Chains A and B, each alone.
Chain A
């Protein structure tokens, strides 16, 4: 097994190569505005660090979000195109699950990432491997009752620590494809299901229906 994992759902552009038992190489760059430029060079770097080529990969793992749309799509279209070109499967995972797995907690906790527009993407977990709720997008203030004092990880929890009062400052703050790959390897070994490689936007597109045609003749 040789899995190439990538995730661009958060400000982190992250890539990792996993052979089924361990991470062979990984890359993580945090730059919310350059997903498009950074991803392919990162893939190239990770493969060459591991001394292998893309055509040796037996499967793709991709974080399907939730995440801000433009960046999220970079990872998804890259994984889907690799999958098509190499004729290998593309396994989708909720991006929050990668952070949860990296947190390694065995008690209930929440994961929250920055959804911009003063909102967070978040979900509840029973432990590092078990998500209890569908990922959602909400204003932090609306979650205060539910998350106060609950252990929390992720940049969204750090950003709104007045609400996520149980935030764990030691992290993980950012998504790591290495965690995503390790989780995928476990799931594959256990024969578990993956998500389709389709984006979790959680918001409808912003599409202003233009107001009725504006009269140009002065009244």
Chain B
């Protein structure tokens, strides 16, 4: 549907974690990216508290939709579709966005597209750098995910190459920041301290980089423990902890492994583009090292601006617009929030739709394994 107006006009809703995001795109053009965050309410708990996030989503939902429409200067009636993160994410948080998207689409008489959060993180780059190359290699790193994904078709074919076997990269940042008493979230503050520190001051371990380790999987738990031990040893000896050096050396270990494995995956699979997304993609050292290593390997690096890397509604709208453009089947009105939606399902087509890519995933009961009434 690459029409004269420049592609489908889609509104996207994202509530999988602590950001209430509503974005509006026309094809590959970003028109609005409204985000209301509850991050400050979680800070004193040192992590995202699901019930606090869900309560904040309910309060922010309608005002954020209104703000996005106003920012974009479009009327709701002109939309070609409503997209929403159907999963993965926090069950109760997802449910607020999914319910709102259904109501909005139904009230406006527009098709609904329940889409995958991870595929959305990849697709957002179309708003920054134009159409995704096919296939696209993507490294997604955030507080919730660390994945290497190969996407021959972002609307229908996303293949997991590797993922973290324990902590997500962003989680490791949060935990190390906690040991250093730097507060939550840890990513930005560690990045800041690291700029003053020496990345080679302490040689922290690089997880899963041995000759017999899985090529594309990650592990950050051992690194986190090693950093904590090192700091405790300093404290036990009554010495000052060199926060800047610890931050820089820890960050270096994370970024080294991430970029090394991502470049390796590109080479092994004959892909000459690498896309990096997720909150940790805002990390300045990750950007710098990825740029250097990709250049050395002849790989074109695509990293969206930081605001598009963190969770937002624009990324959901971007993938929704691609679904419309490629005539993918809309979702049904009984679309459920699926906290563990597999990355191999870029969207959740309706039952009536012909299954173009024969997955059958039981969504009806998927949700009930989570404690919905916590």
Residues of chain B from 310 to 368 with CB closer than 8 A to chain A in the complex? 333-337, 364, 367-368
Which residues does chain A contribute within 8 Å of B96, judged by CB atoms? 73-74, 77
B227 nearest in chain A by CB position? A216
Of residues 99 to 157 in B, which have CB atoms within 8 Å of A's CB atoms? 99-100, 102-104, 106-108
User: Main secondary structure on chain B at its contact with chain A?
Assistant: helix
**Which A-chain residue is minimally distant from B112 (CB atoms)?**
A40
Residues of B near A43 (CB, < 8 A) are 106
Q: Is B40 an interface residue (CB 8 A)?
A: no
The answer to whether A73 touches B225, judged by C-beta atoms less than 8 angstroms apart, is: no
| Known contacts A36-B95, A209-B44, A210-B47: A85-B103 contact under CB 8 Å | yes
Query: Which of A41, A74, A201 has the largest count of B CB atoms less than 10 A from its CB?
Result: A74
Given A40-B334, A69-B373, A210-B45, the answer on whether A54 and B106 have CB atoms closer than 8 Å is: yes
- Give the distance to chain A from B303, nearest Cβ to Cβ, in Å: 32
A36-B336, A41-B333 known; A213 vs B178 contact (CB < 8 Å) = yes
Nearest to A199 among chain B residues (CB) is B58
Interchain CB contact under 8 A, B51 and A40: no
- Would you call B286 an interface residue if the criterion is a C-beta within 8 Å of the partner chain's C-beta atoms? no
Contact string against A for B residues 229-256, beta-carbon threshold 8 Å, 1 for contact and 0 otherwise: 1001100100000000000000000000
* Interchain nearest-CB distance for B142 vs A (Å): 20
A49: chain B residues at CB < 8 Å are none
Which residues from B are CB-within-8-Å of A77? 57-58, 61, 96, 99-100, 103
Which residue of A36, A68, A81, A201 is within 8 Å of B61 (Cβ)?
A81
Chain B residues within 8 Å of A76, by CB: 58
Whether A37 contacts B334 in the complex (CB less than 8 A), given A81-B103, A206-B374, comes out as yes
Instruction: Chain B residues near A69: list those with CB within 8 A.
Output: 51, 54-55, 92, 373-374
Asked whether any CB of chain A lies closer than 8 Å to the CB of B297, the reply is no
Q: Is B301 in the interface zone, CB < 8 Å from A? A: no
Contacts of B333 in A (CB 8 A): 40-41, 44
Chain B residues contacting A84 (CB-CB under 8 Å) are 62, 65-66, 104
Within 8 A of A (CB), among B249-295: none
B49 adjacent to chain A (CB < 8 Å)? yes
Interface presence of B98 (CB below 8 A): yes
CB <8 Å contact, A38 and B103? no
State how many angstroms separate the Cβ of B243 from the closest Cβ of chain A: 15
User: Which residues of the partner chain B approach A74 to less than 8 Å between Cβ atoms?
Assistant: 95-96, 99
Interface size on B, residues (CB 8 A): 49
Given A36-B337, A82-B103, A217 contacting B232 (CB threshold 8 A): yes
Q: Which residues in chain A, 184-219, are within 8 Å of chain B measured between CB atoms?
A: 198-199, 201, 205-210, 213, 215-217
A139 at the interface (CB under 8 A from B): no
The number of chain A residues with a CB under 8 A from chain B is 44
A70 is an interface residue with CB less than 8 A from chain B: yes
Q: For B45, list chain A residues within 8 Å (CB).
A: 207-210
Judging by beta carbons under 8 Å apart, are B334 and A38 in contact? yes
| Contact residues in A for B55 (Cβ distance below 8 Å) | 69, 73, 199, 201, 205
Q: Determine which residue in A55, A77, A201 has the highest number of CB atoms from chain B within 10 A of its CB, and name it.
A: A77
Out of B46, B62, B233, B336, name the residue touching A210 (CB < 8 Å).
B46
- Contact of A169 with B by CB under 8 A: no
Closest Cβ of chain A: how far from B222's Cβ, in Å?
Answer: 11
A70 to B100, CA, bound (A): 13
- A33 touches which of B98, B229, B368 (Cβ 8 Å): B368
B372 in complex: contacting residue of A41, A70, A215, A216, CB < 8 Å: A70
* Closest chain A residue to B15, Cβ basis: A77
Q: Which residue of A lies closest to B364 (CB)?
A: A37
Q: Are B58 and A116 closer than 8 Å at their CB atoms?
A: no
- How many angstroms from the CA of A216 to the CA of B364 in the assembled complex? 41
The distance from the CB of A136 to the nearest CB of chain B, in whole angstroms, is 18
Residues of chain B within 8 A of A33, CB atoms compared: 367-368, 372
| B51 in contact with A216 (CB, 8 Å) | no
Given contacts A36-B99, A69-B54, A78-B103, contact A41 B334 (CB under 8 A): yes
Neighbouring B residues of A44 by C-beta, 8 Å: 106, 333
Within the complex, the shortest CB–CB distance from B22 to chain A, in Å, comes to 11
Is the CB–CB distance between B232 and A80 below 8 Å?
no
CA distance A71 to B62 in the complex (A): 18
Q: Determine whether B202 belongs to the interface, using a CB cutoff of 8 Å to chain A.
A: no
In chain A, positions 149-181 with a C-beta closer than 8 Å to chain B are none
Chain A's nearest CB lies how many Å from the CB of B227? Answer: 10
Whole-angstrom distance from the CB of B146 to the nearest CB of chain A? 21
Task: Flag whether A23 is at the interface (Cβ < 8 A).
Answer: no
Given A69-B55, A84-B62, A209-B45, 10 other A-B contacts at CB below 8 A? A36-B337, A40-B102, A44-B106, A73-B58, A73-B95, A74-B95, A77-B61, A206-B49, A209-B44, A209-B46
Q: Which residues of A contact B (CB under 8 A)?
A: 32-34, 36-41, 43-44, 54-55, 68-71, 73-74, 76-86, 116, 198-199, 201, 205-210, 213, 215-217
24 example contacts (A-B, Cβ-Cβ < 8 A) are as follows A32-B373, A34-B364, A36-B99, A40-B99, A40-B103, A40-B334, A44-B333, A69-B55, A69-B92, A69-B373, A73-B92, A73-B96, A77-B100, A81-B99, A85-B104, A116-B373, A205-B51, A205-B55, A207-B49, A208-B45, A213-B179, A216-B225, A216-B228, A217-B236
Residues of B within 8 A of A (CB): 44-47, 49, 51-52, 54-55, 57-59, 61-62, 65-66, 76, 91-92, 95-96, 98-100, 102-104, 106-108, 178-179, 225, 228-229, 232-233, 236, 333-337, 364, 367-368, 372-374
